[in-house]
Amino acid sequence: MTLSCTGIGIGTSRGTAIGQAHLLQRGRLELMPRYISREEVPDEVDRFRQAVSEAQRQLRAVQKKIPESTPSDIVAFIDTHLLMLNDAALVEVPINRIREQHCSAEWALQMQRNELAQVFDAMEDPYLRTRKDDVDHVVNRIQQRLLQLEEEDPEELKGKIILAQDLTPADAILMRHWGIAAFITEYGGPMSHTAILARSLGIPAVVGVRHATRCLRHGEQLIVDGEQGVVLAAVDDDTLSQYRSRIEAARLQTAELRRLIGQPAVTRDGRAIRLMANIELPEDIERTRSLGAEGVGLYRTEYLYMNRNAPPDEAEHYRAYLEVIQGLDGIPVTIRTLDLGVDKQIDGAYARDEQVCNPALGLRAIRLCLKEPRLFLPQLRAILRVAAQGPVRIMIPMLSTLREVYQLKGLIEQTKRSLARDGLPFDPDIQTGGMIEVPAAALSADAFARELDFLSIGTNDLIQYTLAIDRIDDAVNYLYDPLHPSVLRLIQMVIDAGRRQRIPVSMCGEMAGDPRHIPLLLGMGLTELSMQPGALLVAKRTLRNLDAARLIRQVGELMPSIDAPESADRLSRVLREAS
């Protein structure tokens, strides 16, 4: 077997895919001032006009392909952008600059963009201020044409393996709709939201493949092994057929696992474990129901705010949540309030403009919600209203101080009063829970447990904050260790606090859906696990083979000295024997 090129990265999902590479241009265009001679001016003006008409042609082509179901604000976007491509401010003014200042078309356009941005920034009216974003989109589109960068055509991406320096969660959502086979990025860690989304969407992905966009060629055939974190290029026929067989074997294994649907999630010694799903997109509803999840332990709502230019209003929140609870037909749903910030950024005009040095430690999740009621209150009202229509709980991300809980409770009471005044039905007794994902909250878990109705351990962030490693930075990814003694101690503290205060504790971080960790979690006393729907059946198969009482005894003996050097070996032995 001969391989002429192999890339190693971090596998982020289970699948394997074979397909053609498609190099995706992403990110900001770095433009430098460039000046031309007087003789070159007419050609430069022509080049600019041609780029504008190509941009118009592209947008008209997109307009024709818009599916009927596309939200009207996205359709309106394209109309606005087409109008702007005819606007003198974006067409005639740059041409005058080329003629008068002898600058390149790119630079003339960039200078005009900067001037317009200043005008928009100075506007009092927040709506008008947000139009700056449209200017950027249109300018970017013309710049791409000037630089002859390829435009992605969703039709062409079907079945392709996307190769990019980095992708945002918003990109991953769009790609799911485009039907891509897999993706490879140069940056990012397995706990980034993009990687989590890839797992949940069932897209094989390898992240952190250094220099991938330079070493792999657009159009060549690739194999992506999302489990091992391997990318193969220029493969021979033997390798191809081995991987084809592997894809077929995975398909059969899935069929085998499906026999567990309808079987109880109970350990060998009879302990019932509540297996719940983490959902994010409307598409997850059907899988959650058909795979037999007992509930939704985490409904991430950030997708509602992405790929758009204005935050969703109450009616849109309400419609989205109603669709989920109706689709889930009585399965209880835990709606997590907005957790924007860090890598789950919004790129719409209502995004924050200033650069933040440490976004993971900044204004994200509940902090942002308490600061920006216009983003949060429509969501809160919609959750309270939808809870009158079905079993819904509310869950707050990234709590770090009790003050946030008190403020939140105040807001919930105030929202109830305003709904009552408006004569709208709502659930006055909605259960309110908190995510424990900051060490400070884990250390004070008893206090949080006294104030809240349930807790859920968000290990993705808890590990990031405990070990001081950025979950999206592949350079420190080797330190990301769910079994680090301090992480285990914090998890144990939360489980124990829940038991003492008699409230349920679940786990909804990625650790909960990893079959290697399930024996340990059961041994620590957890009985509620929430994971991406695709992991539910493997988790069920794992726990049905476990003896919970024995694990509780063994792990209980280990925990007091978990940071002793020999404990790691003893723990691996316990977990090996259990599986």
Give the residues lining the site for ligand PEP (CB under 6 A).
Answer: 196, 298, 300, 339, 437, 458-461, 508-509
193 is catalytic: yes
Count the site residues for Mg ion by CB under 5 A.
3
Residue 289, Cβ density class (10 Å: 0-12 exposed, 13-18 middle, ≥19 buried):
middle
102 φ, ψ (degrees, to nearest 5): 55, 40
Work out what residue 509 binds among Mg ion, ligand PEP, none; the CB cut-off runs from 5 to 8 Å by kind.
ligand PEP
Give which of Mg ion, ligand PEP, none residue 459 binds (C-beta under 5 to 8 Å, depending on kind).
ligand PEP
The one-letter amino acid code at 248 reads: E
Query: Between 15 and 458, whose beta carbon lies closer to Mg ion?
Result: 458
CA angle 214, 218, 219 (to 5 degrees): 150
For tokens 């447990």, name the residue. Answer: 449
- Can you tell me the distance from the alpha carbon of 402 to that of 448, in angstroms, rounded to the nearest whole number? 7
Which residues are bridge partners to 4 per DSSP? none
Nearest alpha carbon to residue 363 among 348, 383, 344? 344
The entry of ligand PEP, Mg ion, none near residue 512 (CB within 5 to 8 angstroms by kind) is none
434-453 residues near Mg ion, rule: CB under 5 A: 437
Which residue is associated with the tokens 């919609």?
382
Minimum distance, C-beta of residue 369 to ligand PEP, in the bound complex (Å): 14
> In the complex with Mg ion, which residue's Cβ is closer, 132 or 300?
300
Write the DSSP symbol of residue 151.
Answer: P
Please tell me the distance from the alpha carbon of residue 12 to that of residue 243, in angstroms, as a whole number. Answer: 18
Q: Is 482 in the site for Mg ion (CB under 5 A)?
A: no
Q: Are strands 454-457 and 505-507 parallel, antiparallel or unpaired?
A: parallel
Q: Which of 193, 317, 369, 517 is catalytic?
A: 193
How are the residues of the chain apportioned to helix, strand and coil, as percentages rounded to the nearest 5? 50, 15, 35
CB nearer to ligand PEP: pick between 271 and 484: 484
* Distance of closest approach, residue 455 Cβ to Mg ion, in angstroms: 13
Closest CB to Mg ion among 44 and 461? 461
The answer to the question of residue 458 lying near Mg ion (CB under 5 A) is yes
Q: Tell me the residue type at 19.
A: G
458, 170, 233, 253 alpha-carbon torsion, rounded to 10°: 50
Residue with tokens 């241009």: 25
Nearest distance in Å: CB 505, ligand PEP: 14
357 assigned to active site: no
Choosing among Mg ion, ligand PEP, none, which partner's interface includes residue 338 (Cβ < 5 to 8 Å by kind)?
none
Q: Binds 300, which of Mg ion, ligand PEP, none (CB < 5 to 8 A, cut-off by type)?
A: ligand PEP
Least Å from the CB of residue 460 to ligand PEP: 3
- The minimum distance between CB 341 and ligand PEP, in angstroms, equals 10
Contact of residue 284 among ligand PEP, Mg ion, none (CB under 5-8 Å per partner type)? none
Contact pick of 106, 461, 470, 510 for Mg ion (by CB under 5 A):
461
* Contact assessment for residue 344 and residue 193, using Cβ atoms and an 8 Å cutoff: yes
**Environment class of residue 64 by beta-carbon count within 10 Å: exposed (0-12), middle (13-18) or buried (19+)?**
exposed
State the nearest-atom distance from the C-beta of 365 to ligand PEP, in Å. Answer: 8
Sheet containing 182-185, strands listed edge to edge, beginning at the edge strand earlier in sequence? 3-8, 230-235, 221-225, 16-23, 161-164, 182-185, 205-207, 10-11
Nearer to ligand PEP, 235 or 524 (CB): 524
Q: Does 295 bind Mg ion (CB under 5 A)?
A: no
CB of 329 to ligand PEP, least distance (A): 24
Partner whose footprint covers residue 308, from Mg ion, ligand PEP, none (CB < 5 to 8 Å by kind): none
Q: Which residues of the shown chain bind Mg ion in the complex (CB under 5 A)?
A: 437, 458, 461
Q: Which residues are annotated as catalytic?
A: 193, 508
